[in-house]
Homo-oligomer: A and B are copies of this chain.
Amino acid sequence: MVTSARTGAGSAAEAGAQAYQLIAELYPICRSITGEGNRETLRKLREHIPLQIHEVATGTQVFDWEVPKEWNIRDAYIKSASGERVVDFRKCNLHVVSYSVPVKARMTLEQLQPHLITEPSYPAWVPYRTSYYKETWGFCLSHNHLAALPEGEYEVCIDSTLAAGSLTYGDLLLPGKTADEVLISCHICHPSLCNDNLSGIAIATLLAKALGTRELRYSYRVLFIPGTIGSITWLALNESRAARIKHGLVLNNLGDPGKPHYKKSRCGDAEIDRAVVHVLKHSGSDYEVLEFSPYGYDERQYCSPGFNLPVGSLTRTPHARFPQYHTSADNLDFVQPQYLADSFAKCLAVVDVLENNARYLNCKPKCEPRLGKRNLYGTVGGLRDVPDQQLALLWVLNLSDGNHSLLDIAERSGLAFGLIQSAAEALARTDLLTKLEV
């Protein structure tokens, strides 16, 4: 695995444990695209990182959209004739279709049926559904559960409000040497679902925490926003800031056991694309790179043609490719600390590439310089093998003609970025190499 000196296996494991704990803490909260659950979530994150919490009023025009009414829910249930809560929001907040309008009624099972959603292919699991833009109400329950409900009359209650209010999001800027920004974005609109999206929230939080202790080249903007409407809102209200984003990652699904997947930005060969692919390639374990597509998470907005930002998406198993996706089975058993730890380490390794991907200039470009007299090379000649450290020195000297960044050199040499970076730093301490300021 490519990790900097600052983030060895130990601290990654620790971060994995912390991420898992944070997920466990946030799991019970009922989040949506607006509402108290989101505020509570962001307040908890503020215990870890100095997040700014923003409120955008219902009705605010954001490009082709407007900020929706705020939805809040206190309770919801279906009671049997005997008064027993046969479906209970307090047991599992997925039971209510998100953005359900209030209802209080008695009806037969048959009348209730159009408002009941199950997922027959996974009969033991409660599906997760939303209806943000059509005012309706509904309950989600497992297919087995529905099958067991007897005919008869039921009392149905959704104690929710859908009214003018605001959309809430969190924003953190870690200033670096330049105003150029690296965007880290995760969505916060899912209720009790761990991989999608609590894992993204947790990793983004720990990443922000770790970067907060560093001297940074880039400024890092970390966004905690409701999916789609949140990124649209942020982009609409921060259009001029968006132009500063030089690299970006949308984070989600980072706690499951699947192999890492990186979905490229719309550009396809942006520096962020190459940095992530490099890190995955040298990670020593399996991974997959996906081409950009305009479906997925908030990269859809960042990569819309009017912005076309170099923002990719890092996940383990991508959305909809794991059976637990958008069901009650995406729970605290499904995500595990070791996978969170591995995801965290990879994110930091990507940051290391971005932070250190400089250009250098070989000051003695005619023939190789004498590395031996600068204590950078062995003295016995004729040996069969040359260690990678020495190869890295030769590659850096050979390609540091002003046209190649360290990532270019790492890619062409097949050596890990960290090795190339160390070689460049060693050479830059002699008269042989100069760092180019850009």
Contact = CB atoms under 8 A, between A and B. Distances in A.
Interface in A387-419: 391, 394-395, 397-401, 413
Given A294-B394, A379-B134, A307 B366 contact: yes
Interface in A48-82: 62-65
A373 interface: yes
B305 A362 contact: yes
Contacts of A413: 293
Given A380-B130, A381-B131, A394-B294, A301 B368 contact: yes
A419 to B, nearest CB: 14
Contacts of A394: 293-295, 300
Please report whether the interface of chain A is mostly helix, strand, loop or mixed according to DSSP.
loop
Given A64-B369, A362-B305, A367-B235, A384 B326 contact: yes
A17 B307 CA distance: 53
Q: Which of A266, A293, A326, A386 has the most CB of B within 10 A?
A: A293
Contacts of A366: 63, 235-236, 239, 304, 306-307
A20 interface: no
A231 B367 contact: yes
A382 B326 contact: yes
Nearest to A373: B133
Interface residues of A, number: 61
24 contacts: A63-B366, A64-B367, A65-B367, A65-B370, A98-B381, A127-B382, A130-B382, A131-B379, A133-B379, A235-B367, A236-B366, A294-B368, A294-B391, A294-B397, A300-B398, A303-B398, A304-B365, A304-B366, A305-B399, A306-B365, A306-B367, A307-B366, A320-B384, A326-B384
Interface of A: 62-65, 98, 127-134, 228, 231-232, 235-236, 239, 266, 293-295, 300-301, 303-308, 320, 325-326, 362, 364-370, 372-373, 379-386, 391, 394-395, 397-401, 413
